Structure 1
Amino acid sequence: MSERIECKPTQWFLLRAAAMLLMFGIFAGMFFKDGKWGYREKNVSYYTWRAVEEAAAKFGEEQSKMTPAEWKEYAESQTLDLPEDRSILPVGTPESLPWPALLADYDVMKEGMANPKKLLFDRYRDEVGMKYDAPDKDFTAGKIFEQWVVFWICLVLTLGALIVLLRTISRKMVLHGTTFQPAGGKPVDIEDLVRLDLRRWDRKGLAFAWARSGNGPERKIRIDGLTYGGFKKEEGEPAEKLMEGLKAGFSGELIEYESEEESAEAPEAAGS
């Protein structure tokens, strides 16, 4: 057989590998962002909203007792009730943060009492460019650490998907004459193949071959038709064509499932 049959990585495999690479990469980026900045910035939003709630409650109690000047003096002296563990806040956060400036404005507070969340907190967020709304509760150091753990897992999976993709792109299966070049490893002469297992070829496009290896153990070769070549009729079924070429020059032990017709004919042949 002199025709050269070449089975390159299939589009199906490349798209799947690229999708996995993209998915794990996006997840890694998301968890890195939350572990590095996101959860800490959300904690600032949480403690700022708590200060707004506290201010609204205090103003509701003291509105009739305090003048605008007295309320301003009081509000400007207040600070956010920040946690003892400052590691859950953004790097560089001051030891003490004052209440948002708008909380010292008597008229703003009076108007905001109708809806403190929207008219006070959300207004402050817009003024200072605070990215995150206040979560229901703060994120602990343990929760932030979990983001880093998942980030490293996703990063390893991303690198793994990248390695598999790059390795697969650089490989191919080739049958030229009596020489078979598997997707990985050294080429082998078909005459050196002693066993060919096709039990998973029809359903999964996967086969295994064993070749003589001098005085050492037999060499096992993986033949993955779904990854290399494929079985699309419009493309000429490269993987199937390669397998037919292998079988044509193969004289060793062939392992494959019997078809239903063959199984039914066997007893009849024995009876005759």
Structure 2
Amino acid sequence: MSERIVCKPTPWFLLRAAAMLLMFGIFTVLFFIDGKWGYREKNLSYHVSKAFEQAAKDFETKEGVMSPAEWRSYAEKQTVSFPEDHSILPEGTRIPMAWPAILSDYDAMKAARTGEKNKLFNDYRLQAGMKKDAPEHDYPAGKINEQWVVFVICLVLSLGAAWVLIRTLGRSMAVDGEAFYPADGGKVPFGDLVRLDLRKWDTKGLAFLWAGGASGGERKMRIDGLTYGGFKKEQDEPAERLMGRLKENFKGEIIEYVAETEEPAEQAPPQA
């Protein structure tokens, strides 16, 4: 009895499928974070930073007019200006939101005028636990919804990559002295094989095989040597050995690639 040749999933394919799963998985997580929290936290940071900018402008015009007590009274009455659509803000955001207490501090506002730009806000942001820097603009609801759309797309791609990886792990191709065992299951005796397409075998490691059925129909099978077995010399080229065994026992039609050759140009008859 001939030795059974088994072609299991190749490390090349498994590594590629795992890399795709990892990539789509990371994108899925990132877009979920942006859609659920990220963009909303950026919006909060943006609008609070605008309150700091407005406070700085007001303080510049009122510094010589108001006393520290008057400035504190004025600042404590101000609120952060938010858009009408509150859904773009983090859940639990207080609305209306009073100016941060630091903006009521006359000395802190005075020192901020000559200090590093935005330092007062950045210090407050860190103390208040605001995770995101203030962006150049806020993100409307449509932009947040885009993150959810891309999240769903990436989630579907991740599930697809996981399905392909898990499915392939449990499959293999094999051939023995009696039959071919395709990756999608079953046993196909050599006598049932009717046609073998090898046109892509040498270039892509891909072939197609047809077997006749009792009902008169044909079953088409895919032989993917790069996915199952592989062509590594140090492993004695499992896929090539499987194909060799298959061809030895195959009695049907074989379709192979034939390179086109240029026909020689007709020579002109000699002149008399």
Query: Same fold judged by TM-score > 0.5?
Result: yes
Q: CA–CA distance in 1 between the matches of 2:173 and 2:151?
A: 36
Q: What is the match of residue 21 of structure 1?
A: 21
Is residue 56–residue 116 contact of structure 1 (8 Å, CA) maintained in 2? no
Q: CA–CA distance in 2 between the matches of 1:70 and 1:248?
A: 99
Q: Is 1:164 matched with 2:160?
A: no
Q: What is the match of residue 176 of structure 1?
A: 176
Q: CA deviation at 1:127?
A: 1.1
Deviations 1:107-133 (A, max 9, x none): 110111135643211111121121111
Q: What is the match of residue 189 of structure 1?
A: 189
Q: CA–CA distance in 2 between the matches of 1:52 and 1:252?
A: 82
Q: What is the match of residue 88 of structure 2?
A: 88
Considering fraction of residues, name the structure with more helix. Answer: 1
Q: CA–CA distance in 2 between the matches of 1:116 and 1:62?
A: 21
Q: CA deviation at 1:247?
A: 0.2
Q: CA–CA distance in 2 between the matches of 1:69 and 1:177?
A: 98
Q: What is the match of residue 203 of structure 2?
A: 203
Q: Is 1:254 matched with 2:229?
A: no
Give the fraction of aligned pairs with identical amino acids, expressed as a percent. 62
Structure 2 unmatched ranges of 5 or more: 265-272
Deviations 1:155-214 (A, max 9, x none): 000000000000000000011212111101321011210000000000000000100111
Q: CA–CA distance in 2 between the matches of 1:116 and 1:138?
A: 23
Q: CA–CA distance in 1 between the matches of 2:76 and 2:89?
A: 22
Question: Normalization by structure 2: what TM-score?
Answer: 0.93
Question: Normalization by structure 1: what TM-score?
Answer: 0.93
Q: What is the match of residue 223 of structure 1?
A: 223
Deviations 1:141-161 (A, max 9, x none): 000000000000000000000
Q: CA–CA distance in 2 between the matches of 1:230 and 1:114?
A: 69
Q: CA–CA distance in 1 between the matches of 2:92 and 2:185?
A: 54
SS at match of 2:118: helix
Q: CA–CA distance in 2 between the matches of 1:115 and 1:196?
A: 79
Q: Is 1:152 matched with 2:152?
A: yes
Segment of structure 1 superposing worse, 113-122 or 243-252:
113-122
Letter in 2 for 1:183: A
**Structure 1 runs (4+) greater than 6 angstroms displaced:** none
Q: What is the match of residue 49 of structure 1?
A: 49
Letter in 2 for 1:161: A
Q: CA–CA distance in 1 between the matches of 2:126 and 2:61?
A: 27
Segment of structure 1 superposing worse, 126-135 or 16-25:
126-135
Structure 1 unmatched ranges of 5 or more: 265-272
Q: CA–CA distance in 1 between the matches of 2:259 and 2:237?
A: 21
SS at match of 1:6: strand
Q: CA–CA distance in 1 between the matches of 2:98 and 2:151?
A: 34
SS at match of 1:113: helix
